[in-house]
Structure 1
């Protein structure tokens, strides 16, 4: 069920919250089993056939963790990591590998497209983080219920944020509604839920309506005018921000309702003055994962300049592949790897970068590379780039007012997390958010209900 659907907002979430509150008060020992059960119901609502896959993944990784804690066989950890990645590859990358192999003359491998289980990329990375920390002696050996809930906790199982075990597991032992700030937490959770929903429905979805037709026309081989290309490029850069950050705000807010604080994932990324700064603000938990579990093991900045630039390029290229099984995603990640490497060289040279110029160059680079992320093929991306650089007709109808308003919201204000925590609890504020929630519900019922972009990954 979608976070932005009536069945979730008006049925599942209220029922789950009331049931959790009752259990937490009268049978606190059952709180974690209840949350795990609710998470499995939420996940199974999409397609119950994938519940055995999630259950088997959790059980096998938990058993491996138990063995590693007692007898750390040297072969077991790499085998477990390889098995997790193989499972991800089987569902997500078989078709991609077949397409790449087909580029070799004389090869014509069969193309297999399996249905992608929702959230498999995210819960696979959670397994990897925990097993890696357990092997390094940083993580304790968890009981089955806690481990399963860490992996499957329903606010974050489908699209993150990527949560380290150390950020969440200790909260499972708390009595969240016994805290002196319990009511304030619930209020801020509802506010985050409402803000995230509004970002998705009132900003992200209208942008999608003006972006999707242009990229579809490019995919169909039609010429794209300059006005259409810039509208679609800027529009998608803002759409994916409101869509994904809106989902994250909702996830953080929903988790707060159940007494769990999840890490922030966005910090006004379009205010970044460099590409390095952008990745410290955009999808922050993924950036942290790539840094700690890929970039640093590849050598990081400890083995010389050449190794650092190579590690950046490799990390971002693999990060692009993680986002999607297509060469356009690989190219998107590689472009960011090259951009980050260029930033390292610039800083090493000691050259100055004015703040405003750094922001303008960073924003332009990010927007231009989003084309590779969104386009369905290099041909479609080429059609968009041709329009961007004025190689076609000028066109008309550029919706600058919509883009300007969205850009102002994305760059001028604080993050939703910061804004919500700065506000003091007041009745008028509660009434205002209640009205906003009703407006969003009416909008959901009136328009097309777009799926969150990152559910595809």
Structure 2
């Protein structure tokens, strides 16, 4: 059930909102159980086989948290975290490691072929954030319903944002529709949903036609000409931004309509003037997770410059591997770790790069490394890189119009969250959003619907 599908927009979401509003009015104590039920229905719509996995994961982690709260047995939390990571490793990395071992040894061991449960990386990280904070004494114990809703809340269970317990748990006790600004919050949530849909449907999806054929040709071993290579590289740079930030806007908007505020995940990242600035703006909730739960435990900036550079590299390399079970993802993360380390060394040396030059260097680095993220193999990435520097003979057309529009919106426009909250409520705004939603629905019916890129992670 995609956010950009008729079954979600015209059936599940309206029915869920109506039922939620009714329960919140006549039986508010049933509101949270209803949201848990709706979240499991949404998750099960993708593949009902994985509902027991999600439910069992929630129940076991909650039981461990309760047992730790009562006994303070020190090994409970590390054991639970290890179990969560082992489950993630089984589904996401087992075949990758088996294949890697086979390449090293020259053998051909059989792979497991397990289907990857949607959202497993995201709900695993939610468990880990809570358990780590519980062990550190920062998090209290919660009832099963609240904990289940924290993990499985349907707008963010598949692709984030990564929400800390401290950002949302206190909101579960509120009566969202009894607030004096309830109507305005609901309206702004609807506008966010419309804006996110527009970004996905009108900006992200059209770029797929610029990107997919080129990377498919590279994967087949074909030579990629100069124009094609730059078209695919720049196209994917903006496709992944509008695809993922559009999903985030939809998730935040839907959550707001249910009375819950999720954290922002993007802050115009393609305006960044350094790689450090980029990661403060791109997938912000993941960046904070990597900082607090990997970088700082690795030593952070507390044990000297060499340790700090190593911590940056290791954190980003693991962050790259989290995105996908492949050496290209590992290389992508490692390059960003090396880039962050180089930036740190430059700052320590007192080098000051003018903002325009910093923006150009950062934009070029990010775009070029996206090739590794998108390519299916190093050979495919190399074919694109050869084309980028003109080593491949032949001339090809560079389709630039959609890329130019996307680039202008991504670099000059405000974040959807800021724009929506600056707009004063008005009848004209309501009519404009209604018209936009109608156009989006017509567009969805006319074209193929693309899944969100981050659903694979």
Superposition TM-score, scaled by structure 1 size: 0.99
Q: Give, in angstroms, the shift of residue 352 of structure 1.
A: 1.2
Alignment of structure 1 residues 319-398 onto 2, 5 Å:
319-398=319-398
Alignment of structure 1 residues 298-313 onto 2, 5 Å:
298-313=298-313
Give the aligned partner of residue 214 of structure 1: 214
Q: Give, in angstroms, the shift of residue 112 of structure 1.
A: 2.1
Q: In structure 2, how many angstroms separate the alpha carbons of the residues matched to 1:280 and 1:156?
A: 20
Q: Over residues 338-369 of structure 1, what are the superposed CA-to-partner deviations in whole Å (9 max), with x where a residue is unaligned?
A: 00000000000001100000000000000000
Give the aligned partner of residue 203 of structure 2: 203
Secondary structure, counterpart of 2:224 in structure 1: coil
Give the aligned partner of residue 436 of structure 1: 436
Aligned residues between the structures: 457
Give the aligned partner of residue 257 of structure 1: 257
Q: Over residues 367-411 of structure 1, what are the superposed CA-to-partner deviations in whole Å (9 max), with x where a residue is unaligned?
A: 000000000000000000000010013523211222111100001
When structure 1 is superposed on structure 2, of 69-78 and 118-127 the one drifting more is 69-78
Secondary structure, counterpart of 2:216 in structure 1: helix
Superposition TM-score, scaled by structure 2 size: 0.99
Secondary structure, counterpart of 1:160 in structure 2: coil
Give the aligned partner of residue 406 of structure 2: 406
Q: In structure 2, how many angstroms separate the alpha carbons of the residues matched to 1:226 and 1:394?
A: 8
Alignment of structure 1 residues 186-201 onto 2, 5 Å:
186-201=186-201
1:199–1:246: 8 Å Cα contact kept in structure 2?
Answer: yes
Give the aligned partner of residue 56 of structure 1: 56
Q: Residues 27 and 411 of structure 1: is their aligned pair in 2 closer, same or farther, counting only changes over 3 Å?
A: same
Q: Give, in angstroms, the shift of residue 75 of structure 1.
A: 1.6
Q: Over residues 257-283 of structure 1, what are the superposed CA-to-partner deviations in whole Å (9 max), with x where a residue is unaligned?
A: 000000000000000000000000000
Q: Give, in angstroms, the shift of residue 109 of structure 1.
A: 2.6
1:61–1:80: 8 Å Cα contact kept in structure 2?
Answer: yes
Q: Give, in angstroms, the shift of residue 106 of structure 1.
A: 4.5
Q: Give, in angstroms, the shift of residue 76 of structure 1.
A: 1.4
1:225–1:387: 8 Å Cα contact kept in structure 2?
Answer: yes
1:17 equivalent to 2:17? Answer yes
Q: Give, in angstroms, the shift of residue 108 of structure 1.
A: 3.4
2:203–2:402: 8 Å Cα contact kept in structure 1?
Answer: no
Secondary structure, counterpart of 1:104 in structure 2: helix
Q: In structure 1, how many angstroms separate the alpha carbons of the residues matched to 2:383 and 2:254?
A: 41
Q: In structure 1, how many angstroms separate the alpha carbons of the residues matched to 2:24 and 2:341?
A: 50
Give the aligned partner of residue 237 of structure 1: 237
Q: In structure 2, how many angstroms separate the alpha carbons of the residues matched to 1:115 and 1:395?
A: 41
Q: In structure 2, how many angstroms separate the alpha carbons of the residues matched to 1:418 and 1:394?
A: 45
Q: Over residues 165-223 of structure 1, what are the superposed CA-to-partner deviations in whole Å (9 max), with x where a residue is unaligned?
A: 00001000000000011011001000000000000011100001110000000001111
Give the aligned partner of residue 84 of structure 1: 84
When structure 1 is superposed on structure 2, of 141-150 and 108-117 the one drifting more is 108-117
Secondary structure, counterpart of 2:273 in structure 1: coil
Give the aligned partner of residue 277 of structure 1: 277
